[in-house]
């Protein structure tokens, strides 16, 4: 019986394993191999150049800019969506009236097509006819550049991503909160614990697995940020002046804009290594063993 159960389990696990091997790991290995060659996609010649593509990264200011922007996206977006998601989830857990409707409204941006959402935000933040700048003028404040300002473009793009991912974070936190035994809160209330004490001593520690999952998946998502950046400023992808350029967008520009597939593959490998290292560090230092 034990052997049959093991065979059944491994049979089901084989399906996603084959999927990840074909869709994830093999392309990664192929990208690493391609990064050792200089290949213009329009040409069949692929001379071997070894580590030259990686050496080129050391002096590529555009790559440095895109990497720094990606770090900024992550530092802005991950904490913002975690804090907002947890706060809203705690509030939604307390109410009973139209709870389902509110959950659906918060989750709606997550299932909205990214391209459509980006174009709506582009209209909202337009310096000429956007309603947000119109409201600022009505309040006597000067209009802002938002997506056309090198200083404001990146936070504006990050705000779109936070808004769109917030519903997913809320659902995850609601699931984590519902898994916490109510008896712990009742015992704490009997012992005289205040609301803040119950949050810091019960809710937050027992939400550790949920927090780790949200941090890891959120970090990976921001490090791979692409679609929102491309569609927020379609005529100047990564602009203005490279202020919104992410690593994924730069890979796309190198591969399909300048047809430098070897160099784009080298950037892809570097991004893969960065994501892998950060993910392993997060899992190592953020995961805590829960003991009731």
- Contact assessment for residue 247 and residue 255, using Cβ atoms and an 8 Å cutoff: no
Q: How many CA atoms lie within 13 A of 156 on its CB side?
A: 31
Interval 96-111: pLDDT, tens: 777 788 888 888 889 8
Global pTM value: 0.86
- For residue 212, give the nearest of 99, 50, 82, 23 by alpha carbon: 82
Interval 13-54: pLDDT, tens: 888 888 888 887 788 888 888 888 888 877 777 888 888 999
Going along the chain from its start, the domains and CATH numbers come out as 57-286 (1.10.3720.10)
Interval 66-122: pLDDT, tens: 999 999 999 999 999 999 999 999 988 888 777 788 888 888 889 888 889 998 998
pLDDT for 155 equals 93
Work out the angle at residue 166's Cα, subtended by the Cα atoms of residues 162 and 171, and round it to the nearest 5 degrees: 160
Average of per-residue pLDDT values in the chain:
87
> Looking at 27-36, 150-159, 168-177, which range is the least confident one?
27-36
Separation CA 141–CA 118 (nearest Å) = 25
**Residue 125: phi, psi to the nearest 5?**
-95, 10
Interval 193-245: pLDDT, tens: 888 888 888 888 889 889 999 999 999 999 999 988 988 887 788 888 889 99
């Amino acid at each position: 019986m034990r052997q049959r159960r093991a065979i059944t389990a491994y049979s089901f696990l084989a399906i996603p394993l084959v999927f990840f091997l074909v869709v994830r790991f093999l392309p990664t290995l192929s990208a690493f191999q391609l990064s050792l060659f200089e290949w213009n996609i329009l040409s069949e010649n692929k001379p071997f150049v070894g580590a030259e593509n990686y050496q080129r990264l050391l002096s590529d200011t555009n790559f440095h800019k895109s990497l720094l922007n990606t770090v900024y996206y992550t530092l802005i977006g991950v904490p913002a969506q975690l804090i907002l998601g947890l706060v809203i989830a705690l509030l939604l857990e307390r109410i009973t009236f139209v709870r389902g409707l509110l959950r659906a409204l918060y989750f709606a941006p997550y299932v909205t097509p990214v391209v459509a959402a980006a174009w709506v935000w582009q209209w909202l933040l337009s310096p000429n006819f956007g309603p947000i700048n119109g409201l600022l003028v009505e309040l006597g404040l000067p209009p802002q550049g938002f997506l056309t300002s090198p200083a404001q473009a990146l936070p504006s793009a990050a705000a779109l991503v936070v808004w769109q991912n917030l519903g997913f974070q809320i659902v995850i936190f609601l699931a984590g909160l519902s898994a916490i035994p109510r008896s712990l809160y009742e015992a704490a209330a009997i012992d005289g614990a205040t609301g803040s004490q119950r949050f810091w001593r019960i809710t937050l520690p027992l939400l550790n697995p949920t927090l780790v999952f949200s941090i890891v998946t959120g970090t990976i998502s921001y490090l791979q940020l692409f679609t929102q950046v491309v569609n927020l400023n379609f005529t100047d992808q990564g602009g203005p002046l490279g202020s919104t350029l992410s690593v994924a967008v730069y890979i796309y520009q190198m591969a399909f804009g300048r047809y430098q597939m070897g160099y784009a593959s080298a950037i892809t490998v570097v991004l893969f290594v960065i994501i892998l290292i950060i993910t392993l560090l997060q899992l190592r230092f953020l995961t805590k063993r829960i003991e009731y």
